């Protein structure tokens, strides 16, 4: 979704084009009004240019009475006919190609999409045909009634024809951005350009704002030098002033329009990139341009889709191996991960259910799974809350590590506190079964074990074995929590108040060991 207030208000680069989720009826009305208004304005500008150039720019003799009468009749008639033909032609062409775009129930095929993207070209062709017809008509009229004005009339209307056609294309393409967005919504904009690219568009704007008026000035100078032309210095001065005014005014307006058409897609990508930098991957850019700018918009959406997929994989990976392990693996990269590990002093917490086999035989699979999920939920929550790592699930048992792979200065204190909190919550939240919890502290080897094609992060060492043995013994002591006294001493050495919550509970020789281990239980 768009990421900023401006993007939400004008996803197509202008508020005139409406919001992204506007209704089909609203879109249809908006497009009809915009196209009608913009094309009328374009033709009005063309008529004004014809009038200005023919009166003040092209040095021609004044029209005769016959010419004035002919123009008084021909101009209104042709304008009326051109408006009627243009309206019927333009409406039939555009509505037929755009009908699907205003109906959300229609899934357009490739042909319909291509037709919609060609509407600006068709409407521009219509303008070009109508103005070219007018150029021929009024030039022939001048040849018949006043030949001395024929060249000036043909040049005047001809130059205006180019300007009107170019402006019509650019404004129509602007008005139809919402439709282009729908046409390109499910199509990746690749190397094939749809419409005028950035380079041709720059050339069009240069011709409209500078080239055409300069050509008019050049032709005026040539006509002024002809032997039969009696252009005065004042007339040439007026011509120069008018042409310079056209260049300054229309050149500025067209340059501004050009800048907006190029910058709008770039701004949409920039704003979306800022949202991604803030961590918002649920963003995309409306692709409404079929040129290189559309490739930029489409490429950004592809990039965000890749980031979303990568983030999803990393989240799933983190849920399997732990976020710390996933972050460490991502930081290294697949080619830099090595098998083996490093020796660390860690605290290990082992928790195992009591009587789970009996419970499973007396209850259905659904009930057993529900109990296990509540049990694992408490264990994972407390381990995470105390900044440990749930290393693996072993049937109905859990192995958690404090101090690897991320350093933890108070790992013994964190493990002991997690064991007490875990036991208290399990007694209340999972009363159906009991659980033994064992904690031990010592040196372990922490690292990647397995094959380079398939491995896992784990810890191996005496502390792990001791925690597992203590878990079995904890099932027979009050509270079902048992820790090695070494863990309490380590917590006390770190200055943690957690050591005060534990008391000695004799000693025993753990299975597989030859020396005794002093034990501790939570203080009642």
* Domain at 475, CATH number: 3.30.70.1230
Residue of 135, 137, 142, 134 whose CA lies nearest to 158: 135
User: 175: domain range?
Assistant: 5-300
Q: Are residues 247 and 103 in the same domain?
A: yes
Residue ending a domain, choose from 274, 300, 326: 300
Q: Are residues 428 and 505 in the same domain?
A: yes
Q: What is the pLDDT of residue 440?
A: 95
Average pLDDT, the chain: 78
Q: What is the pLDDT of residue 210?
A: 72
Q: Are residues 185 and 58 in the same domain?
A: yes
At 290 the three-state DSSP class reads coil
Q: Is position 306 within any domain?
A: no
Q: Are residues 239 and 385 in the same domain?
A: no
Least confident of 73-77, 375-379, 476-480: 73-77
Most confident region among 129-143, 204-218, 407-421 by mean pLDDT: 407-421
Q: Is position 315 within any domain?
A: no
Q: Is position 310 within any domain?
A: no
What are 348-360's pLDDT values in tens digits? 999 999 878 788 8
Q: Is position 320 within any domain?
A: no
DSSP-assigned letter for residue 109:
-
Q: Is position 318 within any domain?
A: no
Q: Are residues 375 and 491 in the same domain?
A: yes
User: How many domains does the chain fold into?
Assistant: 2
What are 174-216's pLDDT values in tens digits? 888 887 777 777 655 554 545 566 777 777 777 766 777 677 6
Q: Is position 322 within any domain?
A: no
Q: Are residues 240 and 384 in the same domain?
A: no
Q: What is the DSSP string of 154-197?
A: HHHHHHHHHHHHHHHHHHHHHHTHHHHHHHTTTS---SS--S--
Q: Are residues 287 and 343 in the same domain?
A: no
Q: Are residues 140 and 20 in the same domain?
A: yes
C-alpha dihedral sign at 328, 330, 331, 332: positive
What are 300-338's pLDDT values in tens digits? 887 887 777 777 656 654 554 455 555 554 554 544 445
Q: What is the DSSP string of 114-130?
A: HHHHTHHHHHHHHHHHH
Distance, CA of 441 to CA of 346 (rounded, Å) = 6
pLDDT at 120 exceeding the cut of 70: yes
Q: What is the pLDDT of residue 226?
A: 63
Q: Are residues 126 and 269 in the same domain?
A: yes
Q: Are residues 58 and 149 in the same domain?
A: yes
Distance, CA of 27 to CA of 394 (rounded, Å) = 59
What are 59-87's pLDDT values in tens digits? 666 777 777 777 677 777 777 777 777 76
pLDDT at 517 exceeding the cut of 90: yes
Contact 131, 160 (CB under 8 A): yes
Residue of higher predicted confidence among 343 and 378: 378
Q: How far from 145 is each of 65, 131, 150, CA to CA, in Å?
A: 10, 21, 9
Tokens of 27: 């879109």
What are 421-471's pLDDT values in tens digits? 999 999 999 988 889 999 999 998 887 777 666 667 788 888 999 999 999
Q: Are residues 211 and 349 in the same domain?
A: no
Q: Is position 480 within any domain?
A: yes
Q: Are residues 205 and 292 in the same domain?
A: yes
What are 278-305's pLDDT values in tens digits? 878 777 788 777 677 777 777 788 788 7
Q: Is position 308 within any domain?
A: no
Contact 5, 130 (CB under 8 A): no
Most confident region among 74-83, 388-397, 497-506 by mean pLDDT: 497-506
Distance, CA of 248 to CA of 166 (rounded, Å) = 18
In which element (H, E) is residue 464 found? helix 462-474
């Amino acid at each position: 979704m768009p990421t900023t207030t401006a993007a939400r208000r004008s996803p197509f680069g202008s508020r005139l084009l409406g919001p992204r989720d506007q209704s089909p009826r609203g879109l249809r009305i908006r497009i009809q009004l915009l196209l009608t208004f913009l094309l009328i304005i374009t033709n009005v500008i063309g008529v004004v240019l014809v009038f200005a150039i023919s009166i003040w720019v092209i040095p021609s003799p004044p029209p005769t009475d016959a010419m004035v009468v002919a123009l008084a009749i021909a101009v209104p008639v042709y304008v009326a006919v051109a408006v009627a033909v243009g309206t019927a032609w333009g409406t039939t062409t555009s509505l037929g190609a755009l009908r699907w775009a205003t109906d959300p129930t229609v899934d357009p095929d490739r042909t319909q999409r291509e037709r919609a993207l060609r509407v600006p070209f068709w409407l521009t062709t219509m303008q070009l045909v109508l103005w070219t017809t007018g150029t021929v008509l009024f030039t022939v009229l001048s040849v018949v009634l006043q030949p001395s004005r024929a060249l000036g009339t043909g040049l005047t209307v001809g130059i205006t024809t180019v300007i009107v056609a170019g402006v019509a294309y650019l404004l129509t393409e602007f008005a139809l951005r919402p439709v282009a967005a729908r046409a390109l919504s499910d199509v990746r904009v690749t190397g094939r350009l749809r419409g005028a690219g950035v380079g041709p568009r720059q050339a069009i704007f240069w011709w409209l704002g500078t080239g055409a008026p300069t050509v008019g000035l050049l032709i005026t100078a040539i006509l002024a030098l002809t032997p039969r032309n009696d252009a005065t210095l004042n007339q040439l001065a007026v011509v120069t002033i008018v042409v310079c005014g056209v260049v300054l005014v229309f050149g500025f307006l067209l340059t501004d329009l050009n800048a907006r058409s190029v910058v709008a897609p770039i701004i949409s990508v920039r704003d979306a990139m800022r949202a991604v930098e803030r961590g918002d991957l649920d963003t995309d850019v409306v692709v409404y341009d079929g040129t290189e700018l559309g490739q930029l918009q489409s490429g950004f959406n592809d990039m965000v889709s890749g980031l979303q997929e990568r983030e999803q994989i990393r989240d799933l990976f983190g849920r399997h191996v732990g976020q710390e392990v996933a972050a460490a693996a991502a930081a290294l990269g697949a080619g830099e991960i090595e098998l083996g590990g490093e020796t660390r002093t860690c605290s290990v917490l082992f928790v195992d259910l009591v009587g789970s086999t009996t419970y499973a035989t007396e209850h259905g699979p659904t009930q057993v799974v529900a109990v296990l999920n509540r049990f694992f939920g408490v264990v994972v929550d407390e381990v995470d809350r105390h900044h440990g790592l749930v290393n693996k699930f072993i049937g109905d048992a859990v192995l958690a590590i404090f101090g690897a792979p991320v350093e933890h200065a108070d790992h013994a204190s964190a493990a002991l506190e997690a064991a007490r909190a875990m036991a208290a919550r399990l007694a209340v939240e999972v009363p159906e079964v009991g659980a033994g919890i064992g904690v031990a502290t010592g040196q372990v080897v922490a690292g990647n074990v397995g094959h380079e094609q398939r491995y896992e992060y784990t810890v191996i060492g005496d502390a792990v074995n001791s925690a597992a043995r203590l878990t079995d013994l904890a099932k027979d002591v009050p509270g079902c929590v048992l820790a090695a006294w070494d863990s309490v001493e380590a917590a006390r050495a770190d200055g943690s108040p957690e050591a005060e919550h534990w008391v000695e509970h004799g000693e025993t020789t753990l299975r597989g060991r030859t020396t005794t281990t002093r034990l501790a239980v939570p203080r009642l």
